[in-house]
Structure 1
Amino acid sequence: MRFEEFQEFRQRRLGASSSLLDAAETNVYRALAPMRPKPPTDMSTVHRCDLARAWLRRFELPEEWSGHAMVCRGVRHGLSVVFHWLRGVQARLWLPSDVYPVYFELARAAGLAPASYPTLPEPALPRSPTDHRPEYLLLANPSKPLGRYLSDAECTAAISWLRQSPGRHLLIDSVYDLGSPFAAGTRRLLDTGRAVLLHSVTKGWLWPRTFGVVLLAPAQAELAEAFRADTPTSAQLRLAHRLLTEHSDVPGQVAGELAERAERLFERLPDEVLTAIPMASRTCPGNYFFPVGIPAEMLEREYGVLAAPVSVFGQNSWSGSILTSLADAFGPTPTVTR
């Protein structure tokens, strides 16, 4: 069942049963709308180079990397630019099959024919032999709907994959990382010198398709030129500056709210369902996706819990499903005024 089909199914099921626990809301912007900062009203000039340095400072990365920190309009835009460049160099691309269907839409729109690998119930990196072409592997860290950061062993496996050929590189989508600095695994992968990091204000500041940074590896000067030719608008740059300077605490607030919502979800789940969620997902900061090794049909029939099937996120033969903590039932308790 694809995402749009599931949304229609979800509304029908919730309309048919008021007792069904909705653990399948996926729209974080709707759920946390009151937390999104307002855009600026001034018309000041903001320069991309200043934003790149501000972003590097926030995430405790060396400011001398500013020449490799490409300002863009978010991870989708960044990937679109990267994928078109990969098409030009005839690169091979590996995408996670069950994370984000838009990855494949962007790749195919760029003229690529991506291969895939599963991440549920745990990532299984490709084992194909190398060839003469450049090869790029996209990882999400943290990964949804896996709901956790890559483990030390998984980072080691990714580094081992890199070392099999000098033409191999990583693309790291870190949009779900609400912390600062980035996770230790992400920094470890960056230290290989062959990783491209993509980040944006989409999740931490709840402003999708507005501003992001693609941190390139040193040897990708040609790709840098593609970003310099396709930049955010002046309004987007002003908004990004305000988010990074005046609202630097918002990602922490978002993470705190998501942690409270997760606890409210856990309190309402039957013990058999709660214990089926991996502990790493239950304890991952700022997480709102929780894989459970129980089919969605069984969760609804036996436990009264509406979950999303894995197919909502892409192709995977795993029989489990995904719970989320974004529905109104897990939101803040309204304050009663007297």
Structure 2
Amino acid sequence: MRFDEFQEFRQRQLRASSSLLDAAETNVYRALAAMRPEPPNDMRTVHRCDLARAWLRRYELPEEWSGHAMVCRGVRHGLGVVFPWLRAVQARLWLPSDVYPVYFELARAAGLAPESYPTLPVPALPASPTDDRPEYLLLANPSKPLGRYLSDAECDAVMAWLRESPHRRLLIDSVYDLGAPFAAGTRRLLDTGRAVLLHSVTKGWLWPRTFGVVLLGPAQADLAEAFRAQPPTPVQLGLADRLLTEHGDVPRQIVEELAARAERLFERLPDDVLGTIPPVSRTCPGNYFFPVDVPAETLRRECGVLAMPVSVFGESTWSGSILTSLADTFGPPSTAAR
């Protein structure tokens, strides 16, 4: 069941049963709308190089990397620049099959024929033979709907995958990392010198398709001009400057609100269902996706819980489902009462 099909199914089920617990809301912008910073009223000139340095400082990355920190309009836009370049250099691309269908849409639109690997119930890296082509593996850290960061052992496995060929590289989508600095695993992978990091203000400040940074590695230096040719608008740059300088605490506030919502979800779940959520997903900062090893149909019929089937996120052979904590039911009392 694709995302749009599930949304129609979800609305029908909620209309048919007022007692059904809605654990399938995915729109974080609607759920947390009151927390999104307002855009500035005044316009001031903001330069991309200054924003790149401000972003590097916030995430405790070396400012001398500013020449490789490409300012863009978000992760989706960043991939929209990177993927055509991968096609031009005839790269092989691996995408997670069960994370974000838009990855595949963007890759195919760029003329790529991506291959896939699963992340549920745990990531399973591809084990294909190497050749002389450039080879890129896209991973998300933290990953949804897995709802957690890569473990130390999983980072070790990714680094071992890199060592198997000098032609291998990583694309790291860090949009769900609301902390500063980035997770230790992400820094470890960056320190290999063989990773491209993609980040934006989409989740931490609730401003999608506005501002992001793609931190290139030495192997992608010729991509810089492609990014410079597609800058954010002056309005977007001004907003990004305010978000980073005047609203720097918003991601932490969002983490706290999501933690409170998660606890309200957990309180409403049957014990046997709660027990199937991995502890690392339950405690991951800023997480609102919770994998459970129970089929969505079983949860709905036997537990009165509306969950998402994994097919909403892409292809998967795993029989479990995904819960979220974004519905009004799990919001602050004044919201939940509506």
TM-score normalised by L of structure 2:
0.98
Structure 1 match to 2:50: 50
Cα distance in 2 between the residues matched to 1:54 and 1:230: 20
Q: Deviations over 1:16-73 (max 9, x none)?
A: 0000000000000000000000111112100000000000000010101000000000
Structure 2 match to 1:24: 24
Counterpart secondary structure, 1:237:
helix
Counterpart secondary structure, 1:220:
helix
Counterpart secondary structure, 1:286:
coil
Cα distance in 2 between the residues matched to 1:215 and 1:129: 28
Structure 2 match to 1:34: 34
1:118-197 mapped onto 2 (5 Å cutoff) = 118-197=118-197
Structure 2 match to 1:11: 11
TM-score normalised by L of structure 1:
0.98
Identity of aligned pairs, percent?
A: 84
1:1-338 mapped onto 2 (5 Å cutoff) = 1-334=1-334
Letter of the 1:158 partner, please give it. V
Shift of 1:174: 0.2
Shift of 1:132: 1.4
Cα distance in 1 between the residues matched to 2:217 and 2:71: 14
Letter of the 1:277 partner, please give it. I
Cα distance in 2 between the residues matched to 1:297 and 1:182: 37
Q: Which runs of 5+ in 1 are unaligned?
A: none
Letter of the 2:289 partner, please give it. F
Cα distance in 2 between the residues matched to 1:165 and 1:80: 26
Letter of the 1:146 partner, please give it. L
Counterpart secondary structure, 2:37:
coil
Number of aligned positions between the proteins: 335
Cα distance in 2 between the residues matched to 1:130 and 1:209: 35
Shift of 1:194: 0.2
Shift of 1:218: 2.2
Shift of 1:219: 3.0
Counterpart secondary structure, 2:333:
coil
Q: Deviations over 1:232-253 (max 9, x none)?
A: 1100000000000000000000
Shift of 1:224: 1.1
Cα distance in 1 between the residues matched to 2:162 and 2:41: 46
Counterpart secondary structure, 1:334:
helix
Letter of the 1:17 partner, please give it. S
Cα distance in 2 between the residues matched to 1:209 and 1:61: 23
Counterpart secondary structure, 1:273:
helix
Counterpart secondary structure, 1:290:
strand
Counterpart secondary structure, 1:95:
strand
Cα distance in 1 between the residues matched to 2:124 and 2:74: 27
Counterpart secondary structure, 2:98:
coil
Shift of 1:8: 0.2
Shift of 1:215: 0.4
Letter of the 2:147 partner, please give it. G
Cα distance in 1 between the residues matched to 2:228 and 2:91: 21
Q: Which runs of 5+ in 2 are unaligned?
A: none
Letter of the 2:89 partner, please give it. V
Shift of 1:179: 0.3
Q: Deviations over 1:107-152 (max 9, x none)?
A: 0010000000000000000000101110000000000000000000
Counterpart secondary structure, 2:76:
helix
Letter of the 1:140 partner, please give it. A
Letter of the 1:210 partner, please give it. T
Cα distance in 2 between the residues matched to 1:29 and 1:59: 23
